[in-house]
Amino acid sequence: MLSEKFSITRTLILLTVVFLVFNFDNAQSQKSESESVIDSDLNFEEAVAGISVPDGTIENLRIVDIYYYGFDDKLHKGQLVVHKDVVLDIIEIFEFIRESHFPVEKVIPISQYNWSDEKSMKDNNTSAFNYRFISGTRVISNHASGLAIDINPRLNPYIKNGSSLPANCIYDTTKTGTISASSQLVNEFKQRGWQWGGDWKSLKDYQHFEKKLK
């Protein structure tokens, strides 16, 4: 009987400790988010303003608040505009990015760059939705439906025939914030059905991840 009471008491103590630790971690997370550097704090209308987009496309888009560590080692708040069917993927992937301290320069909807992919990339800005063509073609990009994301583009350039976008960028996998085939971040995307541009044969788009919906 005494041993049973001891076992029950120990179990209750352990459950109490787990509860306290969980609540402490949750409180710390909320506190750090409230103290984060704000890179973007737009409403949906602001995030998609200034461009002509088919109504059906707009209806499928959502704006997502995300948190990540910048190259200053501070927690930042940014926003992505993505297709509604990949919102959960993006939340989970950025939880991994945050927990692993993979640095991200900034995450600002591309409307704040007047819808210029070039300006956004030069600023090393991570972005998703942009109603545009694939570079050098007249084919609508997966970015146009919010089903693609470019991460740290200055560190992870698009490379074709020896030229890079952004211009004059060197892909160096030893630099922090660079994405390579051995990056766990690539696996996080692939586990959720995304493709990585670094796997492509005719060109390399190391910044780029996209998902085809079934």
pLDDT of residue 198: 98
Two tokens, residue 60:
């499928």
pLDDT of residue 24: 43
Mean pLDDT estimate for the chain: 89
Reported as a single tens digit per residue, the pLDDT across 41-88 is: 999 999 999 999 988 899 999 999 999 999 999 999 999 999 999 999
Task: Tell me how far apart the alpha carbons of residues 22 and 106 are, in angstroms, rounded to a whole number.
Answer: 29
pLDDT of residue 28: 42
Percent of the chain with pLDDT over 70: 85
pLDDT at 22 exceeding the cut of 50: no
Tell me the mean pLDDT in the region 86-100: 98
For the ranges 9-23, 134-148, 173-187, 190-204, the lowest mean pLDDT is seen at 9-23
pLDDT of residue 29: 46
pLDDT at 23 exceeding the cut of 60: no
Reported as a single tens digit per residue, the pLDDT across 133-181 is: 777 777 888 999 999 999 999 999 999 999 999 999 999 999 999 999 9
Task: Tell me how far apart the alpha carbons of residues 193 and 27 are, in angstroms, rounded to a whole number.
Answer: 33
Tell me the mean pLDDT in the region 32-47: 93
Reported pTM: 0.83
- Which one has a higher pLDDT value, 214 or 99? 99
